[in-house]
Chain A
Amino acid sequence: MLEALALSARRGSAALFDAVSFRLEPGQVLLLSGPNGSGKTTLLRIAAGLTECAGGWLEWRGVRTAPFDAGLRSAALFIGHAPALKDDFTAEENLASLASLHGATTDHAALVAALSVWSLSGQRALPARVLSQGQRRRTSLARLQLVSRPLWLLDEPAAALDAAGAATLADTLTAHLARGGIAVIATHQDLPLGAGVGRSLRLA
């Protein structure tokens, strides 16, 4: 489980948020909302261990986390704003590269299956340079199918996705939660998730 205790963050001298606490059990998702600049990305980056918080702390399975600690790195999958794709690689190569960076298997069949879940079968051999924004986002999200991590941290995953893409995202997320996974998601859109799994947190 993921627990935040009185987290606070600042950008420069301005406080972003103060005393944010939440507790997520396996199978639960936290949906972060709030206006631009309210600290959604910062909260996700703190949870991923990329950024240090100004106050409070996070506990993952009862252990206090520190930036870049090995336990957190092997438990969490963070997908940020930038899709982390290489323009010169094809969609399949990009996916294989990202999945193997996170220690997942990258056999051809698994890659093909993951890309087809995200309706990218036709774009498999195309360089990422020629993909649309939505297709780039899908390629980036397709690693959710390959990398098994208990904690997903997704920053605006539905940005640039069409309705079908958002539905795929919701299905993938529902399956993750049903397996006992945990997720924290910053989003402006409503994701059609099952009842009772979503907590929401609004940052002012």
Chain B
Amino acid sequence: MTVATVTPTTAPTGAGAPAPVRETRSDRIVMICNYTALGLFTLAVLYPLVYVLSASLSDPKNVVSGKVWLWPVGLSVEAFKAVFDYDSIVSGFGNSVVYALGGALLATALTLLAAYPLSRKGLPGKGIIMALFVFTMMFSGGLIPTYLVVDRLGLLNTRWAIILPGALAVWNMIITRTFFQSTIPEELVEAAKVDGCTDFGFFWRIVLPLSKPIIAVNLLFYAVAQWNSWFSALIYLTNEHLFPLQLVLRQILIQNNFDPSQVRDTAELIRMKELQEQLKFSLIVIATIPPLLIYPFVQKHFVKGAMVGSLKG
């Protein structure tokens, strides 16, 4: 930050003069540089996404020959139609919806059940229980021992293997606990107790209705994490009918593994061979849409969640 030494030689305003303070020239230059840098950076982030979207909508010939670099050239939605003829993509999409919904519900329930008691003051043993949770963030048994546990429980090749092992994220639990601590005053608990309310009743009738934002954050966070995960499916599942979308995507996009048996119609198959490269672009677009569609609506909540955890955790 050597630039910091470039202080303006002209004092902004006369001493003792109250605001408004006029911007000095160097300040204005800094401001212009800042806006330009932010703009360039934003374009750099945006470009790959725009390119893939344009390529997916273009005529495959134009993509291969490099005519497409920003806007679609020779509009074509063939590749999008082809995606829906590929069986494992369709079943993967369905499986991913199941994993995302089921996983989010289960994980959110566990998170709330852990976070609320641990947010209450004066619960004997709270410190030890909290330490038990936090320790797992710093140390874990590792990949192989976890696999052996899942195997031992007989969960291999079941949907539970995808949902259960990662059901609770300790970080989310800490954020949720902080939310409870800062929004549910201890006096409220005491007042409810005086009125004869039990802990269960208080949690169900008062805490949960007051915690809609944090419940939404948890649901969305877990759903997106589950939607995007693929590694647990890779090691726990061998039955292709249970594969989530991400695992199917990995086969097609990264391993370049195009399985003809997944397409029943032969005429369709020939057409698809031509589209194979194009298929990748449309697949990326389709796989990105569900999380990105909900994202602008929930961005505020995500940001809030991240802030609560960072400032008060």
- The reply to whether chain A is a binding partner of chain B is no
